[in-house]
Structure 1
Amino acid sequence: MAPKVLVSDKLSETAVQIFRDRGIDVDFMPDLGKDKDKLAEVIGQYDGLAIRSATKVTPTILEKADRLKVVGRAGIGTDNVDKEAASRKGVIVMNTPFGNMITTAEHAIAMMFAVARQIPAASASTQAGKWEKSKFMGVELTGKTLGVIGAGNIGGIVCDRARGLKMKVIAYDPFLGQEKADKMGVEKVELDDLLARADFITLHVPLTDQTRNILSKENLEKTKKGVRIINCARGGLVDEAALAELIKSGHVGGAGFDVFSQEPATENPLFGLPNVVCTPHLGAATTEAQENVALQVAEQMSDFLLTGAVTNALNMPSVTAEEAKVMGPWIKLADHLGSFIGQMTDEPIKAINILYDGVAAQLNLEALNCAAVAGIMKSFNPEVNMVSAPVAAKERGIKISTTNQDKSGVFEGYIKVTVVTDTRERSIGGTVFSDGKPRFIQIKGINIDAEVGPHMIYTTNEDAPGIIGILGRTMGENGVNIANFTLGRSAAGGEAIALLYVDEAVPADVVGKLKETGLFKQVKPLEFDVA
């Protein structure tokens, strides 16, 4: 029997035809996704569900989806899909992360032009019968300095377009290496330098704990007088209230926003201010982009349903069914090792080396590599998955290498991940015990035996008496319960490390109290996805 797919949102007829041409039975009901009761009634008939943003794939829907194998989202955002519930149900969730890059980059450039020449206000004035040439004095882009925060896929396209406009481009991105910056023709700078020099600032980063409010009141006040701010990335990257005050004071010359901290944005501090251009999250809203992502999702879903090939999956590694039982714990280990290093590294990564020893070297190393690299990259960009992570690393000039070796130690097999930056190398090793649980077994060359938990805290210090007591007392006095406490040292009196598995995320003030003791070289809270 041919696989059967339901298209419950408005995909193009061309995309629907792809399913038919591949021999897949497809029902095209573009308004069904808005009716959750009807969707729940019929979803049990289908092997695949192709959607945009209108269809909500909830646990209730998934509970009725007895045949469903794959959900394909035409676009990058999957907030309308309960991925945890889908994983429990055994349903793969795919997206199309690269289909709207050019469209979003072009929208940022368009917003920059609109703000530079006050086009929306001038158009409204002219159509109102006024002729106010002197009121709408603009500025040229040629020769101006563009500060790009985030030089990944979309940011890189913006850099290229801006250079074509004869702008000087400076970029801040923790993952941007010097070699990659040189190839892009941009100057790699620190954030404070960018804020001080840029005539225009455009943001192209995901919303993470590291990037949230990156243009805070404090940082906005560091900007050059007359700067113009463009945000077509994510709401929450800019303190909108602080920006509004700086526009009113005349320090900021204008702003172009496509995204807002609260959406739909029916009101906002920026609305109604002079030389502020706002659009309703139109970054991906072009005919070409919508067609591209629709065609991509149809091809990806067809490939999976007909051949088992997995592309751009958010909740499943690219491994065969036979490999899955053995690979699962090792993939989770590789992800944890990468995540540890990703959370510990705040400078551009030049290279990643992954060492496989013993039984680990006999597994599907491509999948393990993807898991380790994804663990590193998603600490900075949570939208990265196992498929897109190697591409994202390559685009940033990160060299990935693999070393295999026969069993060389007490463990049947282990994985060691090392990253290289301009200033240092950082490594961590781990293994999978017979119970199937990943363990950290070596950090910075120091042997340990640490269970991995969702909330952990890592410290380094010179080996000295009393450190255990300080850690335990500080945690206890602040209501943080320790589930597991692991110690290691290079030698008596040498460098020592501690890794604490705690019941909940360690509050920032507790981290601050440990740092204030002056006894620790590093105090770093860590989070791991152990589900």
Structure 2
Amino acid sequence: MAPKVLVSDKLSETAVQIFRDRGIDVDFQPDLGKDKDKLAEVIGQYDGLAIRSATKVTEKILAAADNLKVIARAGIGTDNIDKIAASKKGVIVMNTPFGNMITTAEHAIAMMFAVARQIPEASASTHAGKWEKSKFMGVELTNKTLGVIGAGNIGGIVCDRARGLKMKVVAYDPFLSQAKADKMGVEKVELEALLTRADFITLHVPLTDQTRNILSAENLAKTKKGVRVINCARGGLVDETALAELLKSGHVAGAAFDVFAEEPATSNPLFGLPNVVCTPHLGAATSEAQENVALQVAEQMSDYLLTGAVTNALNMPSVTAEEAKVMGPWIKLADHLGAFIGQMTDEPIKAINILYDGVVSEMNLPALTCAAVAGILKSANPEVNLVSAPVIAKERGVQISTTKQDKSGVFEGYVKLTVVTDQRERSIGGTVFSDGKPRFIQIKGINIDAEIGEHMLYTTNRDEPGIIGALGQTMAGSGVNIANFTLGRTEPGGEAIALLYVDAPVPQELTSKLRDTGLFQQIKPLQFNVG
């Protein structure tokens, strides 16, 4: 019996035909996604669901999806899919991360031109018959400095186009290596330098805890007078209220926004201000991009449903069904090792070295390596997956190497992950116990035995009496309950580490109190996806 796919959003006829040509029974209902009750009523009939942004795949929808095996989003963003619920249900979530990069980059360049020459306002004035030629004095882009925040796929294209316009390009991206910056022909700078030097600032980063309000009121105040700000990435990267005030004062000369903190944006502090260009999230809205992602999603879904091949999956490694039972816990371990390193590392990564020892060395190492690299990169970009992680690492000039060796210690197998930056090397090792649970067994060369939980706290200090008591008392005083407490040290009186598994996210108040004790060299709350 042929697999059955529901297309519940607008997808091109060419893409729908791909399903048919591949032998998939496709049901094309482009308006069904807007009716959540009807979707919940019929979803149980289908093996696959192809969507854009209109369909909201909620926990309720997934509860009714008894036969669903894969959800594929024609586009990058998957905020409209409950990925945790999908994972629990055993449903693969795919996206098409590379289909609309050029279109989005071009929109950012177009918005930069529009705000530099006040094109929308000049057009409206001319349509009104006013001919206010002297009112709309613009600025050239040539020889201006463009500050690019985020030099990944889309940001990299913007850098290239801007250099073609003879702009000076400075880029801030913690994961951009100097070698990659040199190859791109851009100057790698810290955020503070970018803010003070840039005539135009454009953002190309995902919305994470690290990037939320990256252009805060404080940072916007550091920009040079007359700067123009462009955001075609994600709403929430800029403090829109603070930007509006700086536009009114004249410190910021203009802004161009395609995305907003709240969407659909029917009201916003930026609306109605002079020389502010706003578009309704059109970054990927070209016929070419829409066609590209539609064709990709049809091919990816067909491949999976017919052959089991997994491409651009956000919640599943690229492994065969036979490998999955054995490799599953090791893939989870590799992801946890990477997540630890990623959350601990702020500076650009030059190299990632992975050692596979014992039984794990005979497994599907490319999948394990992808899981480890994805774990590292996801701390900066949650949209990274097992397929895109090596590509992104390569684009950023990160060298990835693997070594395999026969059993050399007390464990049947283990994985050791080492990351190299200009400042330091950081390493962590782990294994999978007989119960199938991943464990951390070594950090910075110090042996430990740590259970991995969703919320953790990592500290380092000199090994001296009273540290454990101070740590426990401070946590108790902040109402933080410890589920598991693991210690390790190099030698008596040497360097010591603690890794605590706690019941809830570590509050900022606690980290501040721990710093105030003066006892700890490092204090780092950590999060792990243990689902």
Q: Please, which moves more after superposition, 109-118 or 431-440?
A: 431-440
Aligned to 1:505: 505
Cα deviation code 1:456-505 (max 9, x no counterpart): 11111111111101100100111111111111111111111111111111
Cα deviation code 1:49-101 (max 9, x no counterpart): 11111222223322332322111111111122222222222211111111111
Superposition deviation, residue 4 in structure 1 = 1.7
Whether contact under 8 Å (2:210, 2:380) holds in the other structure is yes
1:60-459 matches, cutoff 5 A: 60-459=60-459
Looking at structure 2, the residues matched to 255 and 29 of structure 1 have their Cα atoms a distance apart, in angstroms, of 39
Q: Please, which moves more after superposition, 166-175 or 40-49?
A: 40-49
Residue type of the partner of 2:334? A
Looking at structure 1, the residues matched to 179 and 304 of structure 2 have their Cα atoms a distance apart, in angstroms, of 37
Aligned to 1:477: 477
Residue type of the partner of 1:216? S
Looking at structure 2, the residues matched to 377 and 299 of structure 1 have their Cα atoms a distance apart, in angstroms, of 26
Superposition deviation, residue 347 in structure 1 = 0.2
Looking at structure 2, the residues matched to 526 and 69 of structure 1 have their Cα atoms a distance apart, in angstroms, of 31
Looking at structure 1, the residues matched to 62 and 453 of structure 2 have their Cα atoms a distance apart, in angstroms, of 28
Cα deviation code 1:373-430 (max 9, x no counterpart): 0100000000111111111111111111101000000111100100000111000000
Residue type of the partner of 2:493? G
Looking at structure 1, the residues matched to 447 and 520 of structure 2 have their Cα atoms a distance apart, in angstroms, of 19
Whether contact under 8 Å (2:103, 2:284) holds in the other structure is yes
Looking at structure 2, the residues matched to 38 and 473 of structure 1 have their Cα atoms a distance apart, in angstroms, of 54
Looking at structure 2, the residues matched to 112 and 267 of structure 1 have their Cα atoms a distance apart, in angstroms, of 22
Cα deviation code 1:247-289 (max 9, x no counterpart): 1111111000111111111111111111111111111111111
Looking at structure 2, the residues matched to 367 and 511 of structure 1 have their Cα atoms a distance apart, in angstroms, of 36
Looking at structure 1, the residues matched to 41 and 221 of structure 2 have their Cα atoms a distance apart, in angstroms, of 55
Looking at structure 1, the residues matched to 246 and 188 of structure 2 have their Cα atoms a distance apart, in angstroms, of 27
TM-score by length of 1: 0.99
- DSSP 3-state at the match of 1:141: coil
RMSD: 1.0
| CA gap 1:477/1:64 in 2 versus in 1, 3 angstroms | closer
Superposition deviation, residue 190 in structure 1 = 0.4
Aligned to 2:20: 20
Residue type of the partner of 1:8? S
Superposition deviation, residue 351 in structure 1 = 0.5
- DSSP 3-state at the match of 2:283: coil
Residue type of the partner of 2:364? N
Looking at structure 1, the residues matched to 86 and 219 of structure 2 have their Cα atoms a distance apart, in angstroms, of 40
Looking at structure 1, the residues matched to 528 and 283 of structure 2 have their Cα atoms a distance apart, in angstroms, of 31
Looking at structure 2, the residues matched to 461 and 86 of structure 1 have their Cα atoms a distance apart, in angstroms, of 41
Residue type of the partner of 1:524? K
- DSSP 3-state at the match of 1:510: helix
Cα deviation code 1:126-169 (max 9, x no counterpart): 11110111110000000000000000000000000000000000
Looking at structure 1, the residues matched to 86 and 209 of structure 2 have their Cα atoms a distance apart, in angstroms, of 25
Q: Please, which moves more after superposition, 79-88 or 309-318?
A: 79-88
Looking at structure 1, the residues matched to 439 and 345 of structure 2 have their Cα atoms a distance apart, in angstroms, of 20
Residue type of the partner of 1:338? G
Given the alignment of the two structures, is residue 486 of structure 1 paired with residue 459 of structure 2, yes or no? no
Aligned to 1:46: 46
Aligned to 1:467: 467
Whether contact under 8 Å (2:83, 2:315) holds in the other structure is yes
Looking at structure 1, the residues matched to 229 and 357 of structure 2 have their Cα atoms a distance apart, in angstroms, of 50
Q: Which runs of 5+ in 2 are unaligned?
A: none
Looking at structure 2, the residues matched to 88 and 250 of structure 1 have their Cα atoms a distance apart, in angstroms, of 51
Looking at structure 1, the residues matched to 194 and 314 of structure 2 have their Cα atoms a distance apart, in angstroms, of 34
Superposition deviation, residue 188 in structure 1 = 0.2
Q: Please, which moves more after superposition, 360-369 or 195-204?
A: 360-369
Looking at structure 1, the residues matched to 502 and 4 of structure 2 have their Cα atoms a distance apart, in angstroms, of 46
Q: Which runs of 5+ in 1 are unaligned?
A: none
Residue type of the partner of 1:236? G
Whether contact under 8 Å (2:373, 2:389) holds in the other structure is yes
Taking every aligned residue pair, what percent have the same amino acid on both sides? 86
Looking at structure 2, the residues matched to 88 and 245 of structure 1 have their Cα atoms a distance apart, in angstroms, of 45
- DSSP 3-state at the match of 1:325: helix
Looking at structure 1, the residues matched to 459 and 26 of structure 2 have their Cα atoms a distance apart, in angstroms, of 55
Given the alignment of the two structures, is residue 529 of structure 1 paired with residue 529 of structure 2, yes or no? yes
- DSSP 3-state at the match of 1:11: coil
How many residue pairs get aligned? The number is 531
Residue type of the partner of 2:514? L
Looking at structure 2, the residues matched to 37 and 195 of structure 1 have their Cα atoms a distance apart, in angstroms, of 48
Looking at structure 2, the residues matched to 523 and 67 of structure 1 have their Cα atoms a distance apart, in angstroms, of 45
Whether contact under 8 Å (2:478, 2:509) holds in the other structure is no
Looking at structure 1, the residues matched to 72 and 61 of structure 2 have their Cα atoms a distance apart, in angstroms, of 15
Looking at structure 2, the residues matched to 53 and 512 of structure 1 have their Cα atoms a distance apart, in angstroms, of 40
Cα deviation code 1:113-132 (max 9, x no counterpart): 00000000001111111011
- DSSP 3-state at the match of 1:312: coil
Superposition deviation, residue 360 in structure 1 = 1.1
Residue type of the partner of 1:15? A
Aligned to 1:35: 35
Whether contact under 8 Å (2:198, 2:227) holds in the other structure is yes
Residue type of the partner of 1:522? Q
Looking at structure 2, the residues matched to 369 and 407 of structure 1 have their Cα atoms a distance apart, in angstroms, of 19
TM-score by length of 2: 0.99
Residue type of the partner of 2:473? R
Looking at structure 1, the residues matched to 133 and 38 of structure 2 have their Cα atoms a distance apart, in angstroms, of 56
Cα deviation code 1:168-197 (max 9, x no counterpart): 000000000000000000000000000110
- DSSP 3-state at the match of 1:386: coil
Whether contact under 8 Å (2:461, 2:521) holds in the other structure is yes
